[in-house]
Amino acid sequence: MSWLPSLHADTPEEGYEIAIKLSRMAVKKTQPDDNARDRMRPDYANNADSLTQVSLVVATNFQTVAKANEYWKT
């Protein structure tokens, strides 16, 4: 089963979850070693600038998801 079968989301909130998934998958594909990610998790989880960066990545992906869903206008 594809990890990204569709960008379709019924609501903006559901779309935001897709944006988070896209963002996390980029990290996972870049660093496939689970242990390495586990080790680094406390670094970003306890750093305000890292968390702000995370928000920015998710916001960028959300733009794509929102556009793909025509901004839920209909």
Encoded tokens for 74: 């209909």
Name the residue nearer to ligand HEM (CB basis): 37 or 70: 37
Encoded tokens for 47: 């750093």
Using CB under 6 A, list all residues that contact ligand HEM: 20, 23-24, 27, 31, 37-38, 40-41, 44, 54, 57-58
What would the DSSP string read from start to end of 11-38?
A: SHHHHHHHHHHHHHHHHHHH---HHHHH
Shortest separation between residue 71's beta carbon and ligand HEM, angstroms: 22
Shortest separation between residue 62's beta carbon and ligand HEM, angstroms: 11
